[in-house]
Chains A and B, each alone.
Chain A
Amino acid sequence: MCRLRVYRMLNNEPEKNATLRRSLYSVLGLVLMVLLFWASYANSKFAPKSKDFWEYIATTSIDKWLNNWPKWLDMPLQPWANSGLDWLVINYGIYFDMVNDFILSLVISIKDILTYVPWPLVILGVCLLTWFVSGKKRGTTLLVTLCMFFIGFLSPKFWDKALETTSIMLIAIFICLLVGIPTAIWMSRSARVRNAILPVLDLMQTIPSFCYLIPGIMLFGLGAVPAIIATVIYAMPPLIRLTDLGIRLVDEEIIEAADSFGASSKQKLWAIQIPLAMPNIMQGINQCTMMALAMVVIASMIGTRGLGDEVLLGLQQLNVGRALEAGIAIVLLAIVLDRITQAYGDRIQERTH
């Protein structure tokens, strides 16, 4: 309650406190830089032995400094990350194992269900799903059904593998939705949260997947789980961005109208903002799905079975045909998932605009 009051006070008189806040941040930033320099100096094997700083400056030629980045100006992130990871594995390894087992059991149960059902029924199920989700569109349903059929037609052993890939992806997408949509809703409400999370999203999208795959393997072992984690990290940002955008793009006048009738934030969110943001949210889910499929091959490199496996084997054996077949199967799977999510999004858009 008190915190809320302080927050409101800070926001009601932004002028007075803006300069205070800015100087506070600058001071903190400065302190952080000094700490880092000190850490790099202390850690460095190349730190000058001389205790006297000025003597060191006098004796070293500036030339040497300027031609190469000084070796002692090296932020010790490497040793920190390694020791941090070791600490995690040693002390909390058991919890990671539990998470691993849990998620793996989910993946296996879904895969078992899908492969247990006879394949014509699966194709029929997908056909019916598309039919109703797209609002009874014949073209889309035909396309999706054909694609689904061709996955098996390309090579019979692809069927089970495709279902395995699908089950992994479904878990990954579910986690993305579970974490991503609340995050996006939070971001849309507060500019501060948004500014804090956006750089994190940038990081998630640009950092090479192996940088977080390796720690993932160290914590969870080889298999589906690190792949799912990698997929979530890669596929969640577009979902978050599009959901946040969708909510923010709802017409200001409509929000004003909702406010003028005394709607609470919760009522506004569920009755007005999310329904009107649905086309963007569905687009976000669609993009999330596509990015997740893009991770399939990478996932196979760390022991996940599925279609990616086939591509990898094809590459390793220089069996172009095999890799091509598997690649096309992945594309077909992508089309199936894309069309279903896209069709649902289009239908919502028709209704609301």
Chain B
Amino acid sequence: MAIIELNNVYKIFGSQPNQVLELVRGGMGKEEVLDRTGHTVGLNNVSIAMEEGKTSVVMGLSGSGKSTLIRHVNRLIDPTAGEILVDGTNVMGLDEDQLMAFRRHKMSMVFQRFGLFPHKTVVQNVAFGLEVQGVSLPERTAKAIENIEIVGLKGFEEQYPTQLSGGMQQRVGLARALTTNPDILLMDEAFSALDPLIRSGMQGQLIELQKTLHKTILFITHDLDEALRLGDQIAILNHGELVQNGTAEEIILNPADDYVADFVKDINKSKVIRAQTIMEQASGYVGDVAVESLPKVDVDQVVNDLLPIMLESHSPLAVTDTSGDIVGVVTNKGVTATLWQ
């Protein structure tokens, strides 16, 4: 079920966006618009639907419109045209009070450069969402401390943000976003400002948290590896236009155009493609070997995990689903055909 829907959203920055909108609708490209009118096309007819409980990643280079897009969801930016539905509600139709209530309860945001309040301690920062809601001091402090512990910063409650490292500050940002217990988590390049090791650790932590929390996460990034690791669904933007929207495997195996193909060409496919994608029909026997006697692997295991087993057993593999039934086989041919097209 789609909890966030963007339908035909346009965003044009400048003094006369509505006039320029007609030009863009007529098919004028971003550069031409900039030359002719001095206006910047942020988003050009973007339509995306995001599933509840999943991590949707929007990816693109600088200037692709991804930060603009995420800010449309909580209406930090208003669209020039188009519809934005969150949980069925038209975000543009909300008045000031309703919008405030929306932002307080339905969603939280984590920012690239942390956005922490330097004059507040860690616990005060984390409790801010609840403070805005009017929750009493003891109650919100208790909840804040809980979330500080969840992100692994126990003991740092009374420190100020300037006393913490980048990774720790972002964990405070994450705790702050989690404390209000929102349905939707908006993460604007949340890990882009961290060094690679910390970034990898935070990604892992987010994946772990998702296993228990099942929040709807909208994650913005320019890092393809990050997108592939975190995203159940990945949308790629280029100059404000949606180029492709699909799972990691779809994007790697069927890039929609040269731009996407260029993006993914250096990816290690074996770490992304799963058994399910490369398996062939199982029909009782493979050659003269019974399928049941083959080494068994799971549908969701990536090729990188399958290869050692294949190399050691010198045989195809039987692929089983969650209930244990055999749904296919993985052969040498299947692997090479897919990975080295």
Q: Does A267 contact B (CB under 8 A)?
A: yes
Asked if B111 and A276 sit within 8 Å, CB to CB, the answer is no
8 A-B residue pairings within 8 Å (CB atoms): A254-B118, A257-B111, A260-B186, A261-B104, A261-B108, A262-B129, A271-B131, A351-B119
Asked whether B108 lies within 8 Å of A260 as measured between CB atoms, the reply is: yes
By the criterion CB–CB under 8 Å, are B115 and A253 in contact?
yes
Contact status A261-B128, CB under 8 Å:
yes
Residue of A whose beta carbon sits closest to that of B104: A262
The answer, yes or no, to whether B338 is at the interface (CB within 8 Å) is no
Smallest CB gap from B173: residue in A: A257
- Nearest CB of chain B from residue A280's CB, rounded to whole Å: 13
**Bound CA span A272–B117, Å:** 7
A275 to B15, CA, bound (A): 33
Contacts of A267 in B (CB 8 A): 132
Determine the residue in chain B with the shortest Cβ distance to A259: B76
Kindly list chain B residues whose C-beta atoms are within 8 Å of the C-beta of A263.
100, 132
A78 at the interface (CB under 8 A from B): no
Asked if A262 and B76 sit within 8 Å, CB to CB, the answer is: no
Residues of B within 8 A of A275 (CB): 119
Is B332 engaged at the interface, CB distance under 8 Å to the other chain?
Answer: no
> CB of A256 within 8 A of chain B?
yes
Contacts A260-B186, A261-B104, A261-B180 known; list 19 others, CB within 8 Å. Answer: A14-B15, A253-B111, A253-B115, A254-B115, A254-B118, A256-B115, A257-B109, A257-B111, A257-B117, A259-B76, A260-B108, A261-B103, A261-B109, A261-B176, A262-B100, A264-B100, A267-B132, A272-B117, A276-B119
| Cβ contacts under 8 Å, A259 to chain B | 76, 103
A256 to B119, Cβ gap below 8 A? Answer: no
B18 (CB) vs chain A CBs: closest residue: A15
Q: Does A262 contact B103, Cβ atoms closer than 8 Å?
A: yes
Interface membership of A22, Cβ < 8 A: no
- Measured in the bound complex, the distance between the Cα atoms of B116 and A233 in whole Å is 38
List residues of A (171-190) whose CB comes within 8 Å of B's CBs: none
Interface positions of A from 240 to 289, Cβ below 8 Å from B: 253-254, 256-264, 267, 271-272, 275-276
Interface residues of A, Cβ cutoff 8 Å to B: 13-15, 253-254, 256-264, 267, 271-272, 275-276, 351-353
The answer to whether B129 touches A353 (Cβ under 8 A) is no
Q: How far does the alpha carbon of A267 sit from the alpha carbon of B135 in the complex, in Å?
A: 14
User: Interface size class for chain B?
Assistant: 20 to 34
Q: Contact flags (1/0) for B89-127 with A, using CB distance below 8 Å? A: 000000000011111110111010101111100000000
B200 contacts the other chain (Cβ, under 8 Å)? Answer: no
Is there contact, CB below 8 Å, between B109 and A15? Answer: no
Complex CA distance for A261 and B111, rounded to whole angstroms: 12
A268 to B104, CA, bound (A): 13
Give the residues in chain B near A352, CB-CB below 8 Å: 118-119
Question: In the bound complex, do residue A260 and residue B109 qualify as a contact, i.e. CB atoms below 8 Å apart?
Answer: yes
Contact B119 A257 (CB under 8 A): no
Name A261's closest neighbour in chain B (CB-CB). B129
Chain B residues within an 8 Å CB radius of A256: 76, 111, 115
User: CB distance A261 to B132 under 8 Å?
Assistant: yes
Q: B293 in the interface, Cβ–Cβ < 8 Å? A: no
**Which listed residue (A15, A257, A353) contacts B15, Cβ 8 A?**
A15
The residues of A that contact B101 with a CB separation of less than 8 Å are 262
Chain A residues lying within 8 Å of B99, measured Cβ to Cβ, are 262
- A261 vs B124: C-alpha distance in the bound complex, in angstroms? 14
Provide the residues of chain A in CB contact with B76, threshold 8 Å: 256, 259-260
Given the complex, which residues of A lie within 8 Å of B322, measured CB to CB? none
Q: How far is the CB of B60 from chain A (nearest CB, A)?
A: 20
Shortest distance from the beta carbon of B133 to any chain A beta carbon, whole Å: 8
Q: How far is the CB of B184 from chain A (nearest CB, A)?
A: 11
Point out the residues of chain A lying under 8 angstroms from B129, CB to CB. Answer: 261-262
In the complex, which residue of chain A has the Cβ closest to the Cβ of B107?
A: A260
- Could you say which residues of chain B place their CB within 8 Å of the CB of A271? 128, 131
Q: B162 in the interface, Cβ–Cβ < 8 Å?
A: yes
For the complex, is B245 an interface residue (Cβ under 8 Å from A)?
no
User: Would you call B283 an interface residue if the criterion is a C-beta within 8 Å of the partner chain's C-beta atoms?
Assistant: no
CA distance A353 to B132 in the complex (A): 23
| A106 CA / B109 CA spacing, docked (Å) | 51
Q: Which residue of B lies closest to A353 (CB)?
A: B118
Closest beta carbon of chain B to A132's beta carbon, Å: 20
Cα separation A13 to B104 with both chains bound (whole Å): 28
- Distance in Å: Cβ of B69 to nearest Cβ of chain A: 15
- A261, B76: Cα distance in complex, Å: 11
Are A253 and B113 neighbours in the complex by a CB distance under 8 Å? yes
Which residues of A have CB within 8 Å of B281? none
Shortest Cβ distance from A345 into chain B, in angstroms?
14
